[in-house]
Structure 1
Amino acid sequence: MTDSRGKTNKWRVGGRIMLILLLVVALVFSGRWLYWRLNHVTTDAAYIKADMANIAPEVPGKIIEVTVKEGQAVQAGQVLLRIDPEQLDRHLGLADADLASTHSRKERSQAELNQARLTVPATIDAARAALEVAGKQKIKAQANLDHWQLQYKRFKQLYDRQTIGKSRFDEVEMSWRAAAADFNAAEAQISYAAARLKEAEAARAVIIKAEAANREVADGIHKAEEARKLAKLNRSRCEIKAPINGVVARILVREGDYATPGRPALGIYNPDTRYIEARFEETKVRYITPGKKAAFTVDNFPNRKLAGKVVVVTPASAAEFALIPRDISAGEFTKVVQRIPVRITIDNLNDHPDLLPGLSCEVSIAK
C-alpha cells in the first residue's frame, strides 16, 4: 500500500513539473510571438506582379497561325501570330498603282509647264514685234497721208481755177483717199497688235497655272508615297511580334478567329520584372520606408521564407485608382481603413522561377 501511494505521488509531481514546463515554453513562445508582432507590420493583401504587355493586333483580318503556346518563353521580335495578308496585299497594290499614276501626271504636268515656259515668252516677243511693225507702218501711212493731203489741196486749187483737167484731179483725190484708208488701216493694225500683246502677256497666267498644277501633282506624289508607306506598314503588321523578352501568360485567340485592332490577343510578362505589391493599412505605413528589408512567404510554398526590399511607397491609397471610386460626398457611416500599395523587390529573383505573377503572399516588415 505504501509503495502504491509513493508511485502516485511521483506521478503527480512529474505531471506538475511537465505542466509547469509546458506553461513556461508556451509563455516563452507567446512572448516571442507578441514581441515580434509588436515590432513588425504585416499584411496578407500582397501579390506577386510583373510588367505585363497585353499585345493587340493593329490591323484587322483572319488569324491564320498562332506560333506560340502558353508558358512558352519568347524573345523580343519573335513572331507570335500571323494575320491573313491578302486584303492588305491588295491595298499595297492599289497604293503602288496610285503612285505610278501620280508620277505619270507629274510627267505630263511638267511637260505642259515646260511648253508654257517656251511658248508664252515667244508669243509675247512676237506680239511686241508685231506692235512695233504696226507702229512703223502707221508712221509711213501718216507721211503718205500728209503728202497726198497736201497734193489734194494744191490740185483742188488748180482744178477750181480750171488749170488742170478733172481726170487729173480725180487721180490725186483717189490717191489721197487711199492714203487716208491706209492710215486708218495702220491705226487699226496697231490696236490689233496691242490687243494681241495684252493677250500674250495675259498668257503668263498659263505658266502660273501650270506651276500650281505641277506643285499640286508633286503634293499628290508625296501623298501617294505616304499612302504606300502606310499600306506597306500595315502589311508588315500582319505578323504580330513580341515587344519584350518574356513568357506567354495567356493566349486569347485561336486560328480562324477574326483579329480586331486594339483587342488584346496575347499577354506576355517579363520574369525579370517580378515584384511584390503589398497593401498595408494606412495606420501601418508610417513604419515603412524605401530601403527597408521585408520578409514574405507565398501561399503556394508556406514553409519557404523569402526576402525582399521596399523600393516604393505609393503616395496615394489603392481606392484612388479603383474603377468605381468611392462617393463620400454625403459622408460614410462606417470608417474604412484605407490601404496603401507598397512595392517590394525580391532578393535573388532569378533563383525563384516558381514565383509566378498573381500568387498570394504574406509580407512582414520590421518597424
Structure 2
Amino acid sequence: VGHIHQVSSKVAGTVGEVLVNDNQQVKEGDLLVKLDPKDYQNKVQQAVAALQSAQQQANAAQANIGLASQTTTGKTTQAQGDVSTAQASVSTARAAVTEAEVGIPAAEAAVQEAEAGIPAAQSQVAQADATLTRTQADYKRYENLFRQGAIARQQLDTARAAYDVALAQRNGAIQGVQQAQARLASAKVGVARAQSLLAQAQEGVTTAQAKLAAARGGLQQATASGQQTSVNRSQYAAAQGAIAQSQAALKDAQLQLSYTSIFAPAAGRVGRKTVEVGNRIQSAAPLMAIVNNDYWVVANFKETQLEKMHPGQVVDVKLDAFPSHTFIGRVDSVSPASGAQFALLPPDNATGNFTKVVQRIPVKIVIDPKSMQGYDSRITPGMSAEVTVEVK
C-alpha cells in the first residue's frame, strides 16, 4: 500500500502544456500541467484597473473633503461677518428713521408757527395802510392850508413827518408779511426735507434688511456646504470599501491565475494520466495520480493471532512479484476496528441468530528502506504479500 495523490485542477481551462508522462518520477513542487492563462490574465488586468479606479475615486473624495472643509470654513466666516455687518446696518438705518421721524413734527410745528405769523403781519399791513391813508390825507390838507397861508410851516412839516412815518411803517409791515411768507416757505421746505430724510431712512432700512436676508441666506448656504463635507466623507468611506473589495478581487484573480500552473503535491511516480494538450478540463476533474515512494503493508490477521503482537516487532515480508527476496519490516500499528466494521454494510449480530465468525484485524507493517534498495522503483501499491511476525 502507498499514498496515491490525485492531481486535479482548481480552475477550468484549456490545457496548454503537459510536462510529464506516465510512470515518470517527479519531485514535490514539479510543474506538471499548464493551462492557457489568457482568460485569467485578463481577469487580473480587469481587477487591477478596477482597483486603480477605486483608488482614484478615494483620492478624489479625500481631496474633496479637504477642499469642501476649507471652503465651508471660509464661507461660514465670511457669511457670519456679512450677517453681523447687515445687522449693524439695519440698526443704523432704524436709528436714522427714528431721528427723521422726530424731525418731522418739529418742521410741521415751524410751518404752523409761520402760517400763524402771516395773518398778524397782514393785519399790521392793514393798520399801516389805514395810518398811511390818514396821514397822507392830513398832509395834503395841510399842504393846501399852507399854500393858503392858513397854517404855519411847522404844522406842514409835522404832517409831512407823520406821513413819512406812516409810509415807513407800511413798508415795514409789507416786509413783515414777506418775511412771514418766507419763513412759511422755509418751514415747508424743512417739512419736505424731513419727509425726504424719513423716506431715505426707511429705504435704508429696507435695503439693510434685504442685505441681512441675503447674508443669512449666504450663512445657510455655507452651513449647507458643511453637509457636502459629510457627503464627501461618506463617498470616501464608500471608496475605501470599493478599494478593499477591488483588492480582494485582485487577489482572487491572481490566485485563479496561479492555479493555471498545476504542481506535484508530493514526490513519486506519475500514474493514470488522462490529460492531453488541448483538453478542455473542469475544476476538480482528475488529471493524473502521483504514487509516492512510501510503502507499507496492510496484513489482515485473525483476531486470535493478536494476543502477543505489538508495534515494533520484526516482520518478514515476501511479495509475490519478488518471491526470491525477503523484505524486512516492523509492526507499526493495529487498526482501531476490524475490517468488517469499515465495510459498506457492516454485519449486525443483534438479530438473535448469532454465528461466531473470527474477525480479521488490519495491521500496518512498515518496510525498512534498506531492504527495499533496488526494488523501490519496482514496487507498486496493490501487490500481494505474505508476512510473518516474530512474536517472541
By the TM > 0.5 criterion, same fold? yes
Find 2:346's aligned residue among 304, 320, 326: 326
Amino acid at match of 1:212: S
Paired residue for 2:334? 313
1:235 matched to 2:257: yes
- Which of residues 353, 357, 379 is equivalent to 1:355? 379
* Residue identity in the other structure for 2:268: G
Partner letter of residue 151 of structure 1? Answer: G
Partner residue of 1:143? 95
Relative to structure 1, is the Cα distance of residues 349 and 243 closer, same or farther in structure 2, using a 3 angstrom cutoff? farther
Q: Name the structure 2 match of 1:120.
A: 72
The percent of aligned pairs where both chains have the same amino acid is 26
Tell me if structure 1 keeps the 8 A contact 2:327–2:372: no
Say which SS state the counterpart of residue 361 (structure 2) adopts. Answer: strand
Give the Cα separation in 1 of the matches to 2:189 and 2:285: 110
**Aligned equivalents of 1:199, 1:118: Cα separation in 2:** 14
Q: Deviations over 1:104-152 (max 9, x none)?
A: 4344334433432332222112211111211221221132122112223
Name whichever structure is richer in helix by fraction: 2
What's the CA shift for 1:176? 1.9
Q: Unaligned regions of 5+ residues in structure 2, if any?
A: 116-183
Give the superposition deviation at 1:228: 2.5
Find 1:101's aligned residue among 44, 50, 53. 53
Of 242-251 and 181-190, more deviation after overlay is shown by 181-190
Q: Supply the distance in 2 between the matched residues of 1:158 and 1:326 (Cα, whole angstroms).
A: 131
The 1:319–1:177 alpha-carbon spacing in structure 2 relative to 1, beyond 3 Å, is: farther
Q: Which has the larger radius of gyration?
A: 2
* Alpha-carbon distance between aligned partners in 2 of 1:218 and 1:199, rounded to the nearest angstrom: 29
1:227-266 matches, cutoff 5 A: 227-266=249-288
The answer as to 2:389 corresponding to 1:365 is yes
Q: CA offsets per residue over residues 242-298 of structure 1, 9 Å max, x none? A: 122221132122222222211221111221x21112223344334322122222221
TM-score of the superposed pair, with normalisation by structure 1: 0.77
For 2:96 and 2:6, locate their aligned partners in 1 and report how far apart those are by CA, in whole Å.
99
The residue number in structure 2 matching 1:298 is 319
Counterparts of residues 267-282 of structure 1 (less than 5 Å): 267-271=289-293, 273-282=294-303
1:209 aligns with 2:209: no
TM-score by length of 2: 0.72
**Aligned partners of 2:347, 2:218: CA distance in 1, in Å?**
84
Within the candidate set 309, 316, 326, 1:288 is matched to 309
Relative to 1, partners in 2 of residues 1:337 and 1:90: Cα closer, same or farther, differing over 3 Å?
A: farther
Give 1:230 shift: 2.4
CA shift in 2, pair 1:251/1:172, >3 Å? same
- CA offset at residue 325 of structure 1? 4.2
In structure 2, the CA distance between the partners of 1:349 and 1:114, relative to structure 1 (3 Å rule), is farther
Aligned to 2:42: 90
* Higher mean C-alpha deviation, range 187-196 or range 126-135: 187-196
- CA separation of 1:336/1:69 partners in 2, compared to 1, >3 Å: closer, same or farther? farther
* Alignment match, 2:140: none
Distance, in Å, in 2 between the alignment partners of 1:209 and 1:349 is 77
1:169 is matched with: 191
SS of structure 1 residue aligned to 2:275? coil
| 1:43-82 matches, cutoff 5 A | 49-82=1-34
Q: Secondary structure at the match of 1:362?
A: strand
One-letter amino acid of the counterpart of residue 198, structure 1: Q
Tell me the C-alpha RMSD between the 2 structures: 2.6
Aligned partners of 2:328 and 2:371 also within 8 Å? no
Q: Deviations over 1:41-97 (max 9, x none)?
A: xxxxxxxx1222211111111112221112111112211112122222222232233
Deviation >6 Å, runs of 4+: none
Give 1:359 deviation, angstroms: 0.8
Is contact 1:83–1:259 with CA below 8 Å preserved after alignment? no
Sort the Cα spacing of 1:332 and 1:227 in 2 relative to 1 into closer, same or farther, 3 A: farther
Contact kept in structure 1, 2:341 and 2:347, CA below 8 Å: no
Shift of residue 303, structure 1, vs aligned partner: 4.0
Cα distance change of structure 1 residues 362 and 187 upon mapping to structure 2, 3 Å threshold: same
Question: For residues 69 and 161 of structure 1, what CA distance do their matches in structure 2 show?
Answer: 132
Match of 1:132 among 84, 90, 105: 84
What runs of 5+ residues in structure 1 fail to find an aligned partner?
1-48
- Name the CA distance, whole Å, in 2 between partners of 1:337 and 1:254: 49
SS across alignment from 1:251: coil
CA distance in 2, matches of 1:86, 1:188: 69
Relative to structure 1, is the Cα distance of residues 329 and 151 closer, same or farther in structure 2, using a 3 angstrom cutoff? farther
- For 1:328 and 1:181, locate their aligned partners in 2 and report how far apart those are by CA, in whole Å: 111
